[in-house]
Structure 1
Amino acid sequence: MRDELDPKGLIAEAYRIEGIAAEECRSIFFDWALSLPDGQDPREAVTVMLERHGQEGHPMTAVLREGASEPLRRGRRGGASGRRG
């Protein structure tokens, strides 16, 4: 059975890897996020992955929680319009 939200099985496999580090989980997360179907809400997909696989203390759970949180609001982004007051 093919999983629409994890077609490559990346998230599921990350939870099976013993001793996986947070850096590896982030790399897997980005690969997974880029493979989501067009039009799929990434935060919704992250929530589903957390419900399916989330394990307290696992680095992938921490990465998924970061992915589900609101992005930090930064200062101006730059560019010509930002310099022209």
Structure 2
Amino acid sequence: MVFKGNLDIDPRGLIYEAYRLDIGPEESRSIFLDWAMGTQLGADMTAMLNALLDEYATKSPDHAMTAVLHEGLKKMDRPLGRQGGRAKRVG
């Protein structure tokens, strides 16, 4: 069996392998998107991103994937949906 990292939230080892490569932001975003699309609908993305950062970011703070994971975590703090339009005026 091939080792793909310590985390159950990365069963295909995409994030694990990304940290083993010398890649830039574009490649990291692409890998992240592939990983995110493979997660279960309704999963706690904030908790998963924090787990990934705990596992990898301290060892590789300057890796492009670390920046992408932090960016994803920041976006989780923003409210979903539209911020304007009729619903905002009426509600």
TM-score by length of 1: 0.77
Task: Determine the structure 2 residue equivalent to 1:39.
Answer: 42
**Which amino acid letter does the alignment assign opposite residue 73 of structure 2?**
A
Query: Identity of counterpart residues, as a percentage?
Result: 41
- Which of the residues 57, 78, 81 maps onto 1:71? 78
Within 1, Cα distance between the matches of 2:33 and 2:79? 18
Task: Determine the structure 2 residue equivalent to 1:56.
Answer: 61
CA deviations 1:10-56 (Å, max 9, x no partner) are 000000012x0101000111111111134321111000000001121
- Gapped runs of 5+ residues in structure 2? none
Within 2, Cα distance between the matches of 1:26 and 1:64? 9
Give the aligned length: 81
Within 2, Cα distance between the matches of 1:72 and 1:39? 16
- Gapped runs of 5+ residues in structure 1? none
Quote the RMSD (CA, aligned, Å): 2.6
TM-score by length of 2: 0.73
Q: What SS class does the counterpart of residue 8 from structure 1 fall into?
A: coil
